[in-house]
Amino acid sequence: MSARKPVPFLDLVTSHEELKAELCAVFERALKTAGFIGGPMVDEFEREFASFCDSEHCVGVGSGTDALRFALIAAGVDAGDSVLTVPNTFIATTEAISQAGARPAFVDIDKRTYNMDPKKLHQYLEMECAVDDSGHAIDMSTGRRVTAVVPVHLYGQMCDMDPILELAEHYNLVVVEDACQAHGAEYFSRKQNRWRKAGSIGKVAAFSFYPGKNLGACGEAGAVTTSDPELAQKIRMLRDHGQSKKYYHDMEGYNGRLDAIQAGILQVKLRHLAEWNEQRRKCANRYDALFASTTDEVRAPFEPKWARPAYHLYVLRVENRASVQRHLTELGVGTGIHYPVPLHLQGAYSGLGYKAGAFPIAEEIAGEILSLPIFPGLTHNQQRLVVASLLTSIESNCSALAVSQST
Ligand SMILES: *Cc1c(COP(=O)(O)O)cnc(C)c1O
């Protein structure tokens, strides 16, 4: 067994080696002009990424967290507001809400997509909120105005946006998509009878270019997309100390700019993104096929008819995850858990007053989810090895249990 080559959870080296000459040329281009912040590479990348997302504007920023924070502030979220999202996401989603001065509030996820359940959103707004004179929902337990909702397209899977948009319109909520894991994912709107790209559906959207994302920089980077020119302009000011022009500050902002070298690198890699996403989808389909006969042991991801996921992650559910994962590590197969503790049960949010049991679906899956290796370049053989190792791990786990129960 140990003679087999390990399968890493993620291989970031090969794809960068293949693009090495082009990536190094970006650095040389920046050195020649010493244009390290802003400049033509940032402008060009912004135009190209906006176009990739079917959005009018893109504003490059320092990280996905910056993108979320600026999007929320620019969209008018005020200090003291309440902003809705899900407990099954990376903490940056809720950090941005808090840093915009608002308070995160959660609704549970759908048991098949693991993303925001529009029915739970509806229930929350209907049962737990009152509507004030301005048409805003007021959370009856906190007295706070609910002004925005952040659906997270987690794992590169799409949230069911039609009902979310409809509820948002009815309750006056700004929709901020967290598309940090969903570059290039698509959603079929039954209402509009057309496919729509992640990042073009809500009022405004946030992307992360953290190295491991489907489109990753060689460092920290992020972007906001929107088709609202005023919002785009506000975000341009927020990322640059609130300047409307140099040293004229209309408001306080942040140092949250995208640097030129990262923008240049992202330009090079963006040309491959559609192809890389296609490879990820192929990998996902191959896993699906390999798991087709093992539905009792593992639950493969659910792909709704209305979604073309970007498969940032391929997330299964297994019982006895801890020992299965340990066994896989011993067999040389890298895995991850996204995420082990739902946000409402994290120490950072003990002050929000949520108890265990508040969001049963998020809590249930948190104990069973396991992310398998998926990246462009993952071979069919590697995938077979991953699946065989997983099934071995599950079996040996079952026989170990049987032994411990019989003694
Ligand atoms: C990566 C990520 C972020 C944060 O992006 P950074 O670039 O790391 O700041 C936010 N939300 C989700 C869902 C993410 O996966």
CB 60, CB 257: distance < 8 Å? yes
Taking CA atoms only, the protein residue closest to ligand 1 atom 4 is 64
12 vs 218: CA distance, rounded Å: 10
For the cut 80, the answer to whether the pLDDT of residue 195 exceeds it is yes
DSSP annotation of 240 reads B
All domains of the chain in start order, with CATH: 13-269 (3.40.640.10), 273-406 (3.90.1150.10)
pLDDT in tens, 384-395: 999 999 999 998
For the cut 70, the answer to whether the pLDDT of residue 342 exceeds it is yes
Q: Which atom of ligand 1 is nearest to the CA of 96?
A: 10
**Predicted confidence band of residue 294 (pLDDT cuts 50, 70, 90):** confident
Q: Which atom of ligand 1 is nearest to the CA of 154?
A: 13
For the cut 70, the answer to whether the pLDDT of residue 405 exceeds it is no
For the cut 60, the answer to whether the pLDDT of residue 336 exceeds it is yes
Residue range 218-236: average pLDDT? Answer: 98
What is the structure's pLDDT at 337?
A: 98
What is the structure's pLDDT at 406?
A: 60
Q: For 307, how many CA atoms within 13 A lie in the half-sphere containing its CB?
A: 24
Mutate to test the pocket of ligand 1, among 183, 210, 258 (most ligand atoms within 8 A of CB): 210
For the cut 80, the answer to whether the pLDDT of residue 331 exceeds it is yes
Residue range 145-170: average pLDDT? Answer: 98
For the cut 80, the answer to whether the pLDDT of residue 106 exceeds it is yes
Q: How many angstroms is it from 363 CA to the middle of ligand 1? A: 21
pLDDT in tens, 177-193: 999 999 999 999 999 99
What is the structure's pLDDT at 369?
A: 98
Across the chain, mean pLDDT equals 95
**Predicted confidence band of residue 403 (pLDDT cuts 50, 70, 90):** low
Residues paired with residue 51 on neighbouring β-strands, in sequence order: none
Q: What is the pTM of this model?
A: 0.96
Q: How many angstroms is it from 379 CA to the middle of ligand 1? A: 27
State the DSSP string of 164-195.
HHHHHHHTT-EEEEE-TT-TT-EEEETTTTEE
Q: How many angstroms is it from 210 CA to the middle of ligand 1? A: 7
Of 338, 339, 326, 336, nearest in space to 389 by CA: 326
For the cut 50, the answer to whether the pLDDT of residue 2 exceeds it is no
What's at 102, amino acid-wise? A
For the cut 80, the answer to whether the pLDDT of residue 170 exceeds it is yes
For the cut 60, the answer to whether the pLDDT of residue 1 exceeds it is no
For the cut 60, the answer to whether the pLDDT of residue 3 exceeds it is no
pLDDT in tens, 6-64: 999 999 999 999 999 999 999 999 999 999 998 999 999 999 999 999 999 999 999 99
Determine which helix (DSSP H) or strand (DSSP E) holds 27, and give its type and residue range. Answer: helix 20-33
Q: Which residue has the tokens 């993108």?
A: 67
What is the structure's pLDDT at 397?
A: 74
Q: How many angstroms is it from 90 CA to the middle of ligand 1? A: 7
Q: Which atom of ligand 1 is nearest to the CA of 209?
A: 7
Q: How many angstroms is it from 255 CA to the middle of ligand 1? A: 18
Taking CA atoms only, the protein residue closest to ligand 1 atom 5 is 64
Taking CA atoms only, the protein residue closest to ligand 1 atom 2 is 180
Q: Which atom of ligand 1 is nearest to the CA of 213?
A: 1
Q: How many angstroms is it from 345 CA to the middle of ligand 1? A: 19
| Ligand 1 pocket, residues with Cβ under 6 angstroms | 63-65, 89-90, 92-93, 152, 154, 178, 180-181, 208, 210, 222
What is the structure's pLDDT at 110?
A: 98
What is the structure's pLDDT at 396?
A: 82
SS3 224: strand
Residue range 191-212: average pLDDT? Answer: 98
Residue range 207-224: average pLDDT? Answer: 98
Q: How many angstroms is it from 208 CA to the middle of ligand 1? A: 5
Long-range Cβ pairs for the range 358-364 (8 Å, 24+) = 358/106, 359/87, 359/106, 359/107, 359/108, 359/109, 360/108, 361/108, 361/109, 361/110, 361/111, 361/117, 362/86, 362/87, 362/88, 362/106, 362/108, 362/109, 363/87, 364/111
CB 216, CB 207: distance < 8 Å? no
Mutate to test the pocket of ligand 1, among 181, 215, 258 (most ligand atoms within 8 A of CB): 181
Q: How many angstroms is it from 295 CA to the middle of ligand 1? A: 31
pLDDT in tens, 242-282: 998 899 999 999 999 999 999 999 999 999 999 999 999 99
